[in-house]
Amino acid sequence: MELREALRTTAAIREFDGAPVDRTTIYDLLDTARFAPSGGNRQCWRVVVVEDTAKRRALRDAYLPGWYEYLALSRAGLVPFAVVTDRDKERAALTDASAMAERARESGGGFAEHLDEVPALLVVLADLRGVAAMDRDDGTKTFVGGASVYPFAWSILLAARDVGLGGVLTTMVRRRDAEVRAIVGCEPYFEVACVIALGWPSARPTSLTRGAVETFATIDTLDGAPLVH
C-alpha cells in the first residue's frame, strides 16, 4: 500500500470479523512500528499483549466507567474531559453516566462492552525514565512527553493497515489508571499511554473526512492569514 493512501484511509476501526490475530502477526507489526521516532532514540515504550481472559475482562471493566462518562458529557454538549471547559456543567452531566450504563446493558452494548473480545489487545506503556518532557516543571501533567510514545502507537496502526488489519487507539482506560497498572503489573515509573485494539475489519476502510488545511494552518500567528494551496 502507498504511504499516502495509508495515511488517508487508516480509520478508527471498532468492528472486527472475529478472526484471530496471531502472535507472529503482532510481532511483525511491532517490528515495523519500532522505527518510530522518539526523543534521543531512547524508544521508551513497552507493550503488553493481553491474552489472559480474566485480564481482558478487567481491562474492559476499567474502560467502561470512563466510556459512560464520555457519553454523558457528549450528550450534554460538552467536549468530554476538555482541559478548558465548564466544570460545573461537567459535574452535572456526569450524574447521567449511570443511565448511560443502563442503556448499554439493555441494548447489549457495542465496542466498549465487548472490548475483552477483540482479536488483539495491546497496552502501550511509557517508561518515564526515558521520556524527555520539556513541560515537566509546568505544574501539570506532561503533554509534550507523549511525543516520544504516540508516534510509535500510530505506527502500529499504520503497519496494521498495510497488512489489512484495522484498529483503534484509546486512552479511555486512563480514567481508571490505578486499575490498569495493577492488571499489567506496572512499576511506578511506567505510565499507561493507551490501549490499542486490533482485528480484521468487518467492513472495508474508506477515505476519511477531515477539515481542510485552511481551517487549521495560518501564517506567522494563530490569527494570521490561512495557509492556502
Number of domains in the chain: 1
Domain that holds residue 210: 3-51+113-215
d(CA 205, CA 7): 12
Q: What is the pLDDT along the chain (229 residues), one digit of tens a residue?
A: 899 988 889 999 999 998 999 999 999 999 999 999 999 999 999 999 999 999 999 999 999 999 999 999 999 999 999 999 999 999 999 999 999 999 999 999 999 999 999 999 999 999 999 999 999 999 877 889 999 999 999 999 999 999 999 999 999 999 999 999 999 999 999 999 999 999 999 988 777 889 999 999 999 999 999 999 9
Q: How is residue 228 written as a grid cell?
A: 492556502
pTM (two decimals): 0.94
Q: Is residue 227 part of a domain?
A: no
Q: Is residue 74 part of a domain?
A: no
* CATH number, domain with residue 31: 3.40.109.10
Q: How is residue 185 written as a grid cell?
A: 503489573
Q: Is residue 80 part of a domain?
A: no
Contact 86, 78 (CB under 8 A): yes
* Helix, strand, coil abundance in the chain, percent, nearest 5: 45, 15, 40
